[in-house]
């Protein structure tokens, strides 16, 4: 099973990067507001949610790095090695909560596509945390 950990991490990183690209598009003003935040802001998001989308994009890239490092796909600074284990368990817990939030959304895209994506990510990241 340990041999599958890098594969799971790479798939998870790809999904994180796809979500990051979506968040960057929102931050740049793409008219996709119907599909996030319960559809409260149809079209382009207002300034503040766009800033949060930019921050979310950076966070998602950071999550990808942690998962890849946990599976030893990429290196990790020795000085920060104590953070890697706990962070790798926090990520799937966060993703479970994110999935629940997506399932409660009024937006059909959040309830279907994003809930499924974050659920798959939770499983993949949990697998990496457990087996790496």
| pLDDT tens column, 6-49 | 999 999 999 999 999 999 999 999 999 999 999 999 999 999 99
What is the per-residue pLDDT for 26? 98
CA angle 55, 56, 62 (to 5 degrees): 95
DSSP string spanning 11-74? Answer: HHHHHHHHHHHHHHHHHTT-S-GGGSGGG-S-SSPPHHHHHHHHHHHHHHHHHHHHHHHHTTSS
Q: Give me 109's structure tokens.
A: 């895209």
């Amino acid at each position: 099973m340990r041999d599958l950990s890098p594969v799971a991490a790479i798939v998870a990183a790809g999904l994180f990067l796809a979500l990051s690209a979506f968040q960057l598009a929102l931050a740049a003003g793409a008219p996709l507001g119907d599909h996030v935040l319960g559809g409260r802001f149809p079209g382009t998001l207002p300034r503040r949610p766009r800033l949060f989308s930019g921050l979310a994009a950076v966070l998602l890239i950071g999550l990808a790095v942690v998962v890849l490092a946990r599976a030893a796909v990429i290196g990790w600074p020795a000085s920060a090695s104590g953070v890697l284990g706990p962070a790798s368990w926090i990520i799937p817990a966060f993703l479970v909560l994110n999935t629940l939030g997506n399932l409660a959304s009024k937006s059909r895209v959040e309830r279907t596509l994003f809930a499924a994506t974050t659920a798959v990510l939770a499983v993949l990241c949990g697998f990496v945390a457990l087996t790496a």
